[in-house]
Amino acid sequence: MSNQITVKGSLSFNHSSEVTATVKLWEANNKGSVGEYIVTAEGKGEFTIKATVESDDVILYVTAELEDAKVVMLSVLSPNFMEDIAKNGVVVNELTTVASAFTCAQFFNGLQLSGNLHGVTIAAKNTPNLVNPVTGSWGDVLMDPFNITQNETLARLNTLAALITAYGTVQIEGYDWQDEFLKYATPLAGKRPENTAAAMIGIAQSPWVHPADLFHLFDKAYPQPKDGFPAKPNSKVPVSRRSSPFVPYLSFAPADFAMILAFGQGGICAPGKLSLDEEGNLWTGLNWMPGAQNGVYQGIGGGLVKLDSTGRLLSPPVTGFTGMGVDGAGWGTAVTKDDTCWVTSFNGAIGAYRLEDGAPVVEQVPADLAEALNEIGGLQGIGVAPNGDIWVVATSSNKMLHFPEGDLSRGRVVVDEDLNDALSAPFAASIDDANRVWISNTNGKSLVRYSPSEKDTPVERFILAGGGRGVALDSKGNCWVACNTSPDFPSTTPTDGVSIIEGFALGYPHLEQTVGRNLKTGSVFMVPSDADPKDTVDKSTHESNLKGYGDGELNAPWGISVDGNDDVWVANFMGRGVSFMAGASPSGRTEAFHTGDVIHTICSGSIQMLTDVVVDQAGNIWCANNWNLPQTVMEAKPDPAFSTWGGGSGVLVIYGIAKPAQTPVIGPVSAVQDI
């Protein structure tokens, strides 16, 4: 069903509306523009475009091509802002170009915005968090205290916007500034861009490739005045300020140009595991309640939090969704196929909540299950199988629970002595298409593979490294495991038989003291889907021949996820960063690397001690700030000035940097399919 629409707006370049340009209106997944307007200098940048579009769900965007066809700007229109745009119009400028390029980076091919419509919609909805499409200035989320002084995003955004301005205004004798800019805006394994909009998209797709070179171009375009340099007569601008059209700007080269925003409205404290539903909503259980004086010796348990795909809080503030006895969610949050979110708790409770409204599916678990939960104690990871089964690890008691087809009434403790003997403070679980359960162990150095449907198949162990944490399956069923320590790291204090919180109290000080301030430990392993444990051990030395990746670069890695290109993203707990690694069969932008290569690690003032990273359908990376100030966590009576700083502050997003993945992730990851 076609619809007639009218889009009005204004164009500006270098803060001037006296421009001549061709403005076009586009519809995502449509090769040709649906309307255009010629803007003249006398028209003061204003335009009106009438067009026919396919449906109400269409994603629209505007491009503006200046006279020389090299300066091109764009603005992707958020569906959440269409009423406001209809009333007040849309602005197209350098800032909207940067914001649109980064949030929609994975869906642009040149200036064509195409791909899975749901993923494109999520991307478009996030653009106003960076820049408001109606005002053409900074978005509310970028301006809130969680971001404006806590990360470089505002300065990075302005610096890139200034490079667009420079492309059309700067001429340096004997130096081809424009050619250099396009060269350094070329994405990893991508094509050289031909204009400024495509250049911003290229930078957004791999923002770690040429940050120093891009800053050098900014420095040449807007050199820093020397001390004592005379100001222009009657100028109100401080003499030390660069002539950049956008402030604040970067004062020195960044490690990358990643666009990062943090969200914590209503109180999000110590999120553990993250899980995305089909609509792109983010679910996470909180270790502790926001605002409380939390740590391993005291604290108030947190509930279940839900945010929409733009980071807007949808659950009750402070407490989150509650019920079913959950009091302090651990590293167990999982969205299932039947529109529920399951959560595990430090106190041994299991909660299951409806995605629609966050209400518990039952008031309490069946009596026999409640009795079993009371006996086995604290729980952590949840694995959702492709067949609908749910598996939960009982960390404190070295047991597992099984819920056939996700039925709470059929839940039972798995009775298998071989499995129990193989578990040592199990932490996370993931189930492949063959219904094999892959389980990480906190203690010892093993990954367990359990085949419940094959009676004659033994419980298998693969020797890795200590402190097993997150597990993730790539599209081929290979199992990726994050281990807190490197293979040769001294064994930490065993935590079998103690509560999860006690385990943290015992294990973290040893890890911190051994690693120290200047050392790192941690590794990631890839166990092939068809691996035979006997073939992974050297027959002469009896040591594992499985390779640990990232040793010396990672630091206590925790959560791990695989994106739609089968590349790997890792939450560095002590490293306070997100690491990007080449997957099992590097291809596309990672084809020049080898499996397990750490390509780049993203750090930011907004990134605290992370326990998880997940990839959404728009290619955004969502991260869980679990701890902030370790001394507060580990002290019985911390300094009152910092007593609420133990748990990490909120969740954060890194825009458009990964290859989109289908959500929820159940079993092996799958790429988002174009529709």
Mean local confidence (pLDDT), 643-656: 96
pLDDT of residue 204: 98
CB 207 within 8 A of CB 621: no
Phi, psi of 351 (to 5 degrees): -120, 145
Q: Tell me if 661 is assigned to some domain.
A: no
- Give residues with Cβ within 8 angstroms of 339, minimum separation 6: 354, 355, 356
Band of the pLDDT at 444, cuts 50, 70, 90?
Answer: confident
Tokens at residue 350, please? 């299991």
Domain contains 13: no
Residue 323 reports pLDDT greater than 90: yes
Quote the domain boundaries for residue 394.
260-654
Compute φ and ψ for 435, nearest 5 degrees. Answer: 65, 30
- What is the reported pLDDT for 542? 76
Contact (CB, 8 A) for 561 and 615: yes
Segment 80-91 mean pLDDT: 96
pLDDT in tens, 133-145: 999 999 999 999 9
List the CATH number of the domain containing 291: 2.120.10.30
In this prediction, residue 266 carries a pLDDT of 78
What's 443-468 look like in SS3? CCCEEEEECCCCCCCCCEEEECCCCE
What is the tally of structural domains in the chain?
1
Q: Is residue 416 part of a domain?
A: yes
pLDDT band at 1 (very low <50, low <70, confident <90, very high): low
Distance CA 598, CA 581 (A): 4
**390-436 pLDDT tens trace:** 999 999 999 999 999 999 999 999 999 999 999 999 999 999 999 99
- Give the pLDDT confidence of 154-176 residue by residue, as tens digits: 999 999 999 999 999 999 999 99
Q: What pLDDT sits at residue 516? A: 56
Kindly report, residue by residue over 335-362, the tens digit of the pLDDT: 998 899 999 999 899 999 999 999 999 9
pLDDT in tens, 193-244: 999 999 999 999 999 999 999 999 999 999 998 765 555 666 665 568 899 9
- 29: in domain: no
Lowest model confidence (mean pLDDT) among 122-136, 234-248, 613-627: 234-248
pLDDT at 493: 67
Residue 603 falls within a domain, yes or no?
yes
| pTM as predicted | 0.96
- Please state the rounded mean pLDDT for residues 646-660: 97
In a domain, 247, yes or no: no
Strands (E), 205-308: 260-263, 271-276, 282-286, 304-307
Of the chain, the percentage scoring pLDDT greater than 70 comes to 96
Dump the DSSP string for 489-512: SPPPPP-TTS-HHHHHHHHHHHHH
Answer yes or no: is 96 within a domain. no
Backbone φ, ψ for residue 85 (5° rounding): -65, -40
| Residue 251: inside a domain | no
